Amino acid sequence: MRQCNKDKPDKCRVNFFMLADAKKYSVLHVDVYQGANPRDINIHKEAKGLPTTQKAVVNAVMQTRLHAETRGGFRHVSLDNRCQCPELAFLLRERCRLYSSGTCRRKRKGWSKALMNLSKEEKPSKAEAAKGMIGGARGQYKIAYDRINNVLQCQWRDSKVVNCVSTLINASIEQVTRHRGPTATFVECPRILVKYQQTMFGVDKGDQMRLHGGGFARKAHFQKWYKRSFMAIMDFILLNSLIAWNMAVEEDSQLHRQKFSRHDFCTWIAEELLHYQDPARRQQREPLSPNIIRDSTSRNNPQHLPGPAKKRSTCQVCRLEANISNSKEAKALSSRNCVACLDPECRIVAHNHVPSSSTFKIHDLLGPGQTCFDLAHSAKGRMIWEPDVRGLATVPYKVKTSHPIVQALRSHYGLQPRKTRRPTDGSVISNNNSATSV
Range of the domain at 47: 2-211
The answer for residues whose C-beta is within 8 angstroms of residue 62's C-beta and 6 or more apart is 44, 46, 47, 96
The tens digit of pLDDT for each residue in 125-138 reads 566 556 555 455 77
Dihedral angle sign, alpha carbons of residues 243, 248, 250, 256: negative
Same domain, 189 and 229: no
CA 354 to chain centre: 28
Question: Would you state the pLDDT for residue 422?
Answer: 56
Model pLDDT, residue 281: 56
Whether 197 and 55 map to the same domain: the answer is: yes
Are 204 and 330 contained in the same domain? Answer: no
Cβ-contact 101, 196 below 8 angstroms = yes
| Cα Dmax for the chain | 127
**What is the Cα–Cα distance from 237 to 100, expressed in whole angstroms?**
27
Residue 163 is assigned to a structural domain of this protein: yes
- Whether residue 334 sits in one domain with residue 231: no
Considering the domain architecture, whether residues 419 and 334 belong to the same structural domain is answered as yes
- Its pTM stands at 0.57
137 domain-assigned: yes
Going by C-alpha positions, the residue among 19, 39, 28 that lies closest to residue 79 is 19
Evaluate whether residue 283 is within a structural domain: no
Helix, strand, or coil (residue 119): coil
User: Does a structural domain hold residue 280?
Assistant: no
pLDDT beneath 50, residues of the chain = 134, 282-285, 294, 296-300, 428-438
Indicate the number of domains in the chain: 3
Residue 281 included in any domain = no
Domain endpoint, select from 211, 238, 266: 211
Whether 403 is in a domain gets the answer yes
Q: What is the pLDDT of residue 77?
A: 92
Amino acid in position 47: A
Where are the alpha helices (H) located in 275-368, listed in sequence order? 290-295, 297-300, 316-325, 328-333, 362-366
Question: Do residues 24 and 160 share a domain?
Answer: yes
- DSSP code, position 7: T
Q: Which of 334, 331, 340, 333 is nearest to 310 (CA)?
A: 340
Residues 317 and 354 in one domain: yes
In a domain, 270, yes or no: yes
Contact 82, 60 (CB under 8 A): no
> Position 390: which residue type?
R
Q: Which long-range contacts (CB under 8 A, 24 or more apart) does 36-41 make?
A: none
| Judgement on whether residues 134 and 87 belong to the same structural domain of the protein | yes
State whether 336 and 233 are in the same domain.
Answer: no
326 and 405 housed in the same domain: yes
Q: What pLDDT, on the 0 to 100 scale, is given for residue 20?
A: 92
Pair 269, 394 in one domain: no
Element (H, E) at 98: strand 98-103
- Do residue 164 and residue 253 come from a single domain? no
- The answer to the question of residue 38 being in a domain is yes
- Return the number of other C-beta atoms located less than 10 Å from residue 109's C-beta: 10
